C-alpha cells in the first residue's frame, strides 16, 4: 500500500478482488465442461493422428492423406457440396428473411415458428422423410408423373441432388435467423432518409438496406458453411454412396477398418481447414461485427 493511499483503499481493493474471484467461480462449470467435452477429446484425437499402427510416433497417416488422391477428392467434394448448399441457402433464405423482417413483429413471430419447426425434429427423421419423398417411387415422382409434369422418374435422391436438398432443408434456419436479426435491427429511418434524399425503392435497397444486412448474411453463410463441412447423416442417407464427405470417410475408417489413426488425421485436417476458413472470413469481414460486437 502506498503512503498516500486514501481512506478505505485497501478494503475497496479487496472488494474488487473478491468480485473477480466470484465471477471466475461462476464461469468455472462451463469452463470445466468445455475442457472435458471439447479440449480433451480434440487433444486425444490430435495425439492419435500422430501414432503409427505399432504405437510409435509417425506422420504415416498424414503421408497417406497426401499420397492417396482419393482423400484430396473427398476434401474437394466436402468443400464443393458445402459451398453449393450455402449458396442455395442464401438464395432461398435471404428473400425469406426479408419478407419476415417486413412483417409486423407479431405476424413475423408466428411465421418464424414455421421457419424453426424443422429444428424440433431430429435430423435423422427429416433425412429419411426426404428419402421417402424423393425416391424413384416416392411422393414427388409419383405426383409429378401423374400430373404429367415429367414422364420418367427424376433422379432426386441417391446422388448430389438429394444430398443438397436435405442439407439445405436442415441448414436454412441457420441462415434465416441471423439475416432476419440483422434486418430487424436496421432502423427504418435509414430507408426513409434514403428515400428523402432521392433513392427509389430499388436503389434504397441496393445502397442502404443490403449493405446494412450484410453482416447478418455473412454470419449466416459462415455458420451454414462450417456446419455443412461436418455433415454425416444427410450425405450418407441421401447421397447413395456417390457423395462421400469427410465425415463419412471418418466413419468408414473407424467402423470398417478400425483405423483410429487415419480417422483422427482426417479429423485434424478438417478441423484445421475449418479454422482456416474462419480465419480467412474474419480477415475478410471483420468477425467482431459478425459475432455481434459493435466494432469500433
Partner 1 sequence: MSRAASLPITVREIAKSYGNVRALDRVDLDVRSGEFLTLLGPSGSGKTTLLMVMAGFVRPDCGSLRFGDDEVIRLAPHKRDVGMVFQNYALFPHMDVAANIAFPLRLRGVPKAEAARRVEQALAMVQLAGYGARRVDQLSGGQRQRVALARAIVFEPRILLMDEPLSALDKQLREHMQIELRRLHEQLGMTTIYVTHDQREALTMSDRVAVIERGRIAQLDAPRRLYERPSSRFVAEFIGESSFLPVARVDGGFAYDGRRLALPDGPAPEGKCLLMLRPERLRVLGAGPPAGMNLLGGTVENVVYQGDTYLLQVRLKDGNAVGARGVSTGTAMAALPPAGADVILGLAPEDTILLPDEGAPP
Closest separation between CB of residue 196 and partner 1, Å? 5
At closest approach, how far in Å is the CB of 90 from partner 1? 19
| 104 lies in the binding site for partner 1 (CB under 8 A) | no
Contact pattern for partner 1 over residues 173 through 212, marking x by CB under 8 A: --------------x-xx-xxxxxxxxx--xx--xx--xx
Smallest distance, partner 1 to C-beta of residue 274, A? 29
84 touching partner 1, by CB under 8 A: no
C-beta separation of 96 from 115 below 8 A: yes
What is d(CA 220, CA 208) in angstroms, rounded to the nearest whole number? 19
Minimum distance from CB of 222 to partner 1 (Å)?
19
C-alpha 17/C-alpha 102 separation (Å) is 48
Here the cell at position 159 is 446422388
| Site string (237-276) toward partner 1, x via CB under 8 A | ----------------------------------------
42 makes contact with partner 1 (CB under 8 A):
no
From the list 164, 153, 93, 90, the residue with the least C-alpha distance to 127 is: 164
Q: In 3-state terms, what secondary structure has residue 57?
A: strand
Rounded CA-CA distance 1/153 in Å is: 84
Closest C-alpha to 220, from 115, 90, 92, 111: 90
For partner 1, which is the closer residue by CB, 86 or 213? 213
By CB under 8 A, is residue 217 in contact with partner 1?
no
The nearest distance, CB 97 to partner 1, in angstroms, is: 18
Q: How far is the CB of 170 from partner 1 (least distance, A)?
A: 32
Output the smallest distance, CB 186 to partner 1, in A: 10
Q: Using alpha carbons, select from 63, 166, 170 the residue that is nearest to residue 119.
A: 170
| Residue 57 β-bridge partners | 51
Q: How many CB atoms lie within 10 A of CB 35?
A: 11
Judged by CB, which is closer to partner 1: 156, or 204? Answer: 204
Listed in sequence order, the residues at least 6 apart from 101 whose beta carbon sits closer than 8 Å to its beta carbon are 108, 180, 183, 184, 186
Closest to partner 1 by CB, 210 or 232 = 210
State which residue, 151 or 189, has the beta carbon closest to partner 1: 189
Distances (CA, A) of 86 to 79, 94, 163: 10, 11, 13
Q: Which is nearer to partner 1, 148 or 295 (CB)?
A: 295
List contacts with partner 1 (CB under 8 A): 187, 189-190, 192-200, 203-204, 207-208, 211-212, 295-296
Amino acid at each position: 500500500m502506498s503512503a498516500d493511499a486514501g481512506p478505505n483503499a485497501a478494503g475497496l481493493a479487496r472488494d474488487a478482488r473478491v468480485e473477480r474471484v466470484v465471477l471466475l467461480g461462476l464461469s468455472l462449470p462451463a469452463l470445466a465442461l468445455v475442457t472435458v467435452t471439447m479440449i480433451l477429446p480434440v487433444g486425444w484425437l490430435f495425439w492419435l493422428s500422430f501414432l503409427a499402427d505399432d504405437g510409435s510416433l509417425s506422420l504415416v497417416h498424414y503421408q497417406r492423406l497426401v499420397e492417396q488422391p482419393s482423400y484430396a477428392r473427398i476434401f474437394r467434394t466436402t468443400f464443393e457440396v458445402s459451398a453449393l448448399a450455402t449458396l442455395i441457402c442464401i438464395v432461398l433464405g435471404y428473400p425469406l428473411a426479408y419478407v419476415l423482417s417486413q412483417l409486423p413483429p407479431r405476424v413475423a413471430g408466428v411465421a418464424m415458428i414455421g421457419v424453426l419447426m424443422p429444428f424440433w425434429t431430429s435430423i435423422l427423421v427429416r433425412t429419411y422423410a426426404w428419402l421417402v419423398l424423393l425416391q424413384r417411387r416416392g411422393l414427388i415422382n409419383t405426383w409429378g408423373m401423374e400430373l404429367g409434369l415429367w414422364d420418367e422418374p427424376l433422379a432426386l435422391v441417391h446422388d448430389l441432388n438429394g444430398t443438397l436438398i436435405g442439407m439445405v432443408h436442415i441448414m436454412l434456419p441457420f441462415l434465416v435467423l441471423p439475416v432476419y436479426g440483422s434486418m430487424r435491427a436496421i432502423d427504418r429511418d435509414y430507408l426513409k432518409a434514403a428515400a428523402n434524399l432521392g433513392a427509389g425503392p430499388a436503389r434504397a435497397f441496393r445502397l442502404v438496406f443490403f449493405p446494412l444486412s450484410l453482416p447478418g448474411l455473412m454470419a449466416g453463410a459462415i455458420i451454414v458453411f462450417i456446419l455443412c463441412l461436418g455433415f454425416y447423416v444427410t450425405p450418407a442417407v441421401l447421397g447413395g454412396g456417390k457423395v462421400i464427405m469427410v465425415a463419412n470417410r471418418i466413419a468408414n475408417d473407424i467402423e470398417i477398418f478400425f483405423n483410429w489413426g487415419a480417422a483422427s488425421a482426417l479429423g485434424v485436417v478438417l478441423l484445421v481447414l475449418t479454422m482456416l476458413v474462419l480465419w480467412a472470413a474474419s480477415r475478410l469481414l471483420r468477425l467482431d461485427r459478425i459475432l455481434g460486437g459493435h466494432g469500433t
